[in-house]
Amino acid sequence: MQDISGPSAEHSESVTDQGLYKLPALRVLSEIATSLSTNVDIERLLERFLSTMVRLAGAGAGAVRVLTDDGAGLRLIGSIGLPEEMLERERIVPLGCGVCGQAVHNSATRSTEAVHICKKNSGLAFFGDRCVSFVAVPLRHKGRVLGVYNLFMFADAPPIPEEVRLLFSSISEHLGMALENVRLTQENMRISLMNERQMLSNEIHDSLAQTLAYMNIRLEMLKESVNTGDKQFTEKYLGDMEDALESAYSGLRELLTQFHHRMDPRGLVPALQDLLARACKKTEAKVDFVNHT
């Protein structure tokens, strides 16, 4: 009879080990997917998943970094188990620094035991005394790296299972998508603000340009009347310029008021009706407003 107890036990142990990683993996991916459809603070989200990454890897410490606005460095946004001195010195590191730079450049997870390079670059005894190796997991989206997880392995840490390395790749893609969504949201907000500023600039220009042109003409006529000693026309042109200046101030105030206040919560039609009522009161004009919608 063939003895199958050994292989069966080995297979059972392998399945059990995989189960240990699949459950937290599913939980992590589910939470990330949920976060993609909500207004979440992405930096807090990344910091929260840092503890999961450290636990799954069996690391003694960890850090998460994101690209700086200029794309030239990596900014620290969260850490676990790192000495205070390291947090101060490595608040921002160059993009091409060591294994982190390799992970970003190659858009792939990288690990190394050559911690002496990090010790030389940072001057920190943490590398070598406590950290004997570390892993850099890039946060990527469509081939573009947006950040990186650093997992610092201590001497008593077991090797990272292949299942966990594969899980890191999946988490990286999902969190990279979340980072990209935040970046796009911020970019859309920036474009909207630019468009609003341009619209405000155009409105101010249109509001003041005609008045200033009229005042310039009246100024030339005022100079001529002053030179000829015509008191009647001098007073007339002065009055015209005072009226034009008051009209410009009034128009500018109204324009800024419109930009400061939001649309009437009742909707566009009531807002137009109120605006028309105020205009008719000032001009004593009779205007009919018809809504065909």
Domain definitions of the chain by residue range: 10-188, 208-274
How far is it, in rounded angstroms, from Cα 136 to Cα 114? Answer: 13
Q: Are 73 and 81 in contact (CB under 8 A)?
A: no
pTM of the model: 0.57
H helix and E strand count, the chain: 9, 6
| Edge-to-edge strand ranges of the sheet holding 73-80 | 92-94, 73-80, 61-67, 144-154, 131-141, 110-112
How far is it, in rounded angstroms, from Cα 107 to Cα 128? Answer: 26
Q: Name beta bridge partners: 76.
A: 65
For residue 67, give every residue at least 6 positions away whose Cβ sits within 8 Å of its Cβ, in sequence order, or none.
73, 74, 75, 95, 145, 146, 147
What homologous superfamily does CATH list for 10-188?
GAF domain (3.30.450.40)
| Kind and range of the H or E run holding 102 | helix 98-106
Q: Which amino acid is at 38?
A: T
Q: Which two three-digit tokens encode residue 11?
A: 């297979």
Q: Are 145 and 67 in contact (CB under 8 A)?
A: yes
> What's the pLDDT at 157?
84
> Minimal CA–CA distance to 127: which of 112, 109, 138?
112
Q: Digits of tens for pLDDT over the chain (293 positions)?
A: 333 333 433 433 443 444 455 666 667 667 666 666 556 677 787 888 888 888 888 899 999 998 887 778 889 999 999 988 888 888 888 887 777 777 777 777 788 888 888 888 788 888 888 888 888 888 887 777 888 899 999 988 888 888 787 788 778 777 777 777 777 887 888 888 888 878 877 877 777 787 888 888 888 888 888 888 888 888 888 888 888 888 888 877 777 776 655 556 677 788 788 888 877 875 667 888 877 66
